[in-house]
Amino acid sequence: MKQRSYMIVGFFLSLLLSFLPLASNLLIPDTAVASVAGLSLNQGVQKTVLDNGLTVLTKEIHTAPVVSVQVWYKVGSRNEGKGESGISHQLEHLMFKGTTDRPVQFGRLFSALGSQFNAFTSYDETAYFGTVQRDKLQALLTLEADRMKNSLIGPDQLKSEKRVVISELQGYENSPSYRLDRAVMRAAFPNRAYGLSVGGTKADVEKFTVEQVRNYYQTYYSPDNATLVITGDFETKPVLKAVQETFGKLTKRQNAIVEHQKTTTSQNPQPPTANSQLPTPIVLKEPGSASLLQAVYPLPDINHPDVPAIDVMDAILTGGRSSRLYQALVESGLASSVSGAAAELIEPGWYEIDATAAPGQKLEKIAQVMQTSLSQLQQKTVSQEELNRAKTLLQASFVLNNQDITSQASQLGYNQTVAGDYRYIERYLSAIAKVTPQEVQRVAKTYLVPAKQTIGYFEPTQPDGKPGTSNAGTGRTAENFSPGQPVDPAELAKYLPPANSATQPNQQPLPQQFSLANGLRVLLLPDSSLPTINISGHIDAGSEFDSNQKAGLASLTAENLMNGTKAKNALALAKTLEDRGASLDFNASREGVSINAEGLSANLSTLVQTLADVLQNSNFPPDQLELSRQRALTGLQLQLDDPNSLARRVFQQAIYPANHPFYSFPTVESLKNISREDVLGYYREHYRPDTTTLALVGDFDSNKVKELLNQSFAKWQAQGKAPAVNLPQVALPETSTRLNKVIPGKAEAVTYIGYNGISRKDPRYYAALVLNQILGGDTLASRLGTEVRDRLGLTYGIYSGFAAGINPGPFLIEMQTAPTDAQKAIVSTLALLKQLREQGITPAELNTAKRSITNGYPVDLANPSDVASIIVNNSVLGLSPTEIREFPRRIQAVTMTQIQQVIKDLIQPEKVVIVTAGPGDTASSTN
């Protein structure tokens, strides 16, 4: 089981915001929760169809003062004809370029409203969504209705956005898994649109004409081909009146949707029938790092009665650590990872299995073992225990993936657009509960037929995973580029729809805080709106304690926590959680180990007791430690082959001295140097109750939770004084430094620009955050985005940020460009920094940035999982317990004088470190 992000292409607009628009896109759903807790995604949903054919779905959710507005168009890559590959995605980009009434970048309008917004294109649909404070609902409706009818699609817009789209597509080319998927899908569906990547081909994108894209828009962006979804804190009757006043006045297009779809469908025959012989693997031998396998089997469409049983089958095969393929491939040491997904779409889809080989393992062997597991599923019915576990995983994920209103809106939009009925999920979940062992066996026999399989291997030509040579140099980059003037927010304001009369925001409740007798800090925030539990935690056991000789020790220790305790082995631990649809994960970062756990509220005691057992009694079995080391080595190979992660590594090591913890990164040698004794020693020294903080948010009784925590953690005691690390002071470089790292076989370059910055407790932090919002906090609304992306078309995405933690982290700017555009983008960026340094910002920019941050903050607090993380982070950073409530006020209090001081202190364009990783032809390009 996995979410397949490669099938969704679109904007990703912020370093801090990563929204997956389809939490259950391919319907990785759930039922026990819906039935056990008496929940229904459809409860309270009202469907209205306007006279112009627009379907409107509304659902009141009064748990937070926010609303989500989404428009789903029933058009995607499935609808594209010959020579049109990628046109749906190209149009999605152009929908942000403005309208005849509002000829401005819509991202700037959304940002000014404080909206968390995005868009994506998939096989069957294109969707646009924004989540805002409730008083901005009318404004979002106005903007979405405007661009449904009046989007600007002209030569200038298409020319600049074509470059951006091509940059995006070339970025995908950096990924071996993307290239393998493209080859496999083309072979599996040679005559169907599903066989092509959603983003299209560079060759087709380059040839798009204004008339071609405009006709596509006129054909498909019509009210009768769209679904408007509104969820959140509103009253239905006045909202429907507002919808009628905005969308109701739009007329149907005089188009040929039905005729075009019939033509497209006629070119898309059913999946090929079985051949008499096993298929020959497609083999790609190209530059890369790890060996990859992908297998694809044809499936029916989403409304076929076999779909529920197919998804249960997938959960049995790839759902969690206890699944069959994980046990057969990963636990055996053959693979570093394995995942599966069933793509059930408007037309017949496919089932896919992906695996990454462990170091030294052959793909042929992985394919053989995989086939044996599939054959066993076909030959013998699954046990009731296995069946129940698979159903529970599906059922629990439905509620856990829909805890926030944005995800609930997306689920409704997907069901209505792709399945044809927003109520589809209820039928689906009911059918999941009825799936029998015999049905699982039948669908395995029907669809997992070897002769119908299309299988591909990616065999890297750099088996050692080492990057190419590095060209290093120091000195200044010539600043011969003059940026345009910053966009005037006052000019922008005239295009911004008015918000409703401001409503008093809900007073954010503060968590209860206490410490156990052993020093463990606890924060509790009861929330009975959903039957879920979200646990977020932090342990002072991050990689800041690693030495260069044994870099990776903190991560390897955290990775092995779930591999066994004194009472339970790894499989028993996995089953304890997966039998209940719960999860518990540990991840080591620079400044600590994060704990993330979630489940249904009925399983709170299981989650807490498992967490307590792991933190106190992990025993690090040697065989599991070796397997995790091999996975870490594979991960290292992938990182060194990825321009983004390699550039960040080189960038960080250029900023910090070798004796600084932030300099340390794992290497092959350091990972191999780590012994089991090292891991045990690290665990005993750094995993302590007095350096651990836990936050629980969800449906629970605080008194009972306190009792449970005291019982579970009573025996956990700290010995001696907690370890500490003293970080050396880091000065800015005297001059600019330029480093270029070459990775063979890549299509796009990634560049980092910056230097050491500030900590979260620095008094300048709030002013720095506001300044960054103006500079590069939002790719579509910032100065960097407006100039380097929108005006020049040099990058798919450019962002800036202050990585401010417990200790000062880097200020950085990150961008993806074509190799030949890297130098120009760098020069443009430095010119913008110099302009900022010399001219400052305007009062209008300051006020707009502050409103954008504060208006968006309630959306952050609308997801209980995010609230748990915010609470823990604030506590670990040593901030006031009221910070979660006071944050907007502190942003609003930022003055122009403070901004000017931050610019003086923190914007130093003559002292930046510049690192570019990618193809080897970036350094010398100047045009």
Give pLDDT tens digits for 602-612: 999 999 999 99
Pair 552, 674: CB distance under 8 Å = yes
> Distance of CA 76 to CAs 5, 40, 106, 221, 228, Å?
15, 29, 21, 11, 17
Lowest mean pLDDT among 203-207, 260-264, 340-344, 645-649: 260-264
Q: Report residue 810: phi and psi, to 5°.
A: -75, 145
* Pick from 760, 796, 788, 723: nearest CA to 890: 760
| d(C-alpha 140, C-alpha 231), whole Å | 13
Is pLDDT at 218 greater than 80 in this prediction?
yes
Q: What is the pLDDT of residue 492?
A: 81
Element (H, E) at 742: strand 737-742
Over residues 472-490, the pLDDT tens digits come to: 443 333 334 556 677 777 7
Collapse the DSSP code of 49 into the 3-class scheme (helix H, G, I; strand E, B; otherwise coil) and give the result: strand
Q: What is the pLDDT of residue 887?
A: 97
Pair 270, 241: CB distance under 8 Å = no
How sure is the predictor about 465, in pLDDT bands with cuts at 50, 70 and 90?
A: very low
Q: Report residue 923: phi and psi, to 5°.
A: -70, -35
Collapse the DSSP code of 681 into the 3-class scheme (helix H, G, I; strand E, B; otherwise coil) and give the result: helix
Structure tokens at 849: 């940035």
* Pick from 11, 108, 93: nearest CA to 495: 108
Q: What is the pLDDT of residue 95?
A: 97
Share the mean pLDDT of the chain. Answer: 90
CA 234, distance to chain mean position in Å, is: 28
Q: Are strands 45-49 and 521-526 parallel, antiparallel or unpaired?
A: unpaired
How sure is the predictor about 291, in pLDDT bands with cuts at 50, 70 and 90?
A: very high
* Helix, strand, coil content of the chain in percent (nearest 5): 45, 20, 35
Over residues 868-900, the pLDDT tens digits come to: 999 999 999 999 989 999 999 999 999 999 999
| d(C-alpha 740, C-alpha 583), whole Å | 41
> Distance of CA 97 to CAs 110, 169, 469, 562, 791, Å?
12, 19, 40, 48, 11
Which residues partner with 565 through β-bridges? 618
| d(C-alpha 114, C-alpha 136), whole Å | 9
Average pLDDT value for residue range 46-59: 98
Could you tell me which residues come within 8 angstroms of residue 492 by beta carbon, excluding any fewer than 6 positions away?
A: 104, 108, 109, 112, 848
Could you tell me which residues come within 8 angstroms of residue 309 by beta carbon, excluding any fewer than 6 positions away?
A: 435, 439, 440, 442, 443
Structure tokens at 635: 């991960």
Is pLDDT at 917 greater than 80 in this prediction?
yes
Q: What is the pLDDT of residue 39?
A: 56
Amino acid at 432: I
| d(C-alpha 104, C-alpha 491), whole Å | 10
* Pick from 543, 568, 581: nearest CA to 621: 568
Q: What is the pLDDT of residue 491?
A: 77
Identify each DSSP E strand in 250-389 by its residue range.
282-286, 292-298, 335-343, 350-357
pTM of the model: 0.92
DSSP letters spanning 889-902: HHHHT--HHHHHHH
Q: What is the pLDDT of residue 507?
A: 82
Q: What is the pLDDT of residue 924?
A: 44
Is pLDDT at 87 greater than 60 in this prediction?
yes
Q: Are strands 592-600 and 583-589 parallel, antiparallel or unpaired?
A: antiparallel
Q: What is the pLDDT of residue 409?
A: 96
Q: What is the pLDDT of residue 780?
A: 87
Is pLDDT at 587 greater than 60 in this prediction?
yes
Structure tokens at 267: 């070119």
Which residues partner with 696 through β-bridges? 524, 535
- Better-scored residue on pLDDT, 713 or 486: 713
Structure tokens at 582: 């719960």
Q: Which residues of 27-41 are buried (b: 16+ CB within 10 A; e: fewer)?
A: bbbbbbbbeebeeeb
Over residues 98-137, the pLDDT tens digits come to: 999 999 999 999 999 999 999 999 999 999 999 999 999 9
Over residues 228-269, the pLDDT tens digits come to: 999 999 999 999 999 999 999 999 987 656 434 433 333 333
Torsion 602-607-608-610 (CA) sign: positive
Could you tell me which residues come within 8 angstroms of residue 343 by beta carbon, excluding any fewer than 6 positions away?
A: 4, 7, 26, 123, 299, 349, 350, 351, 352
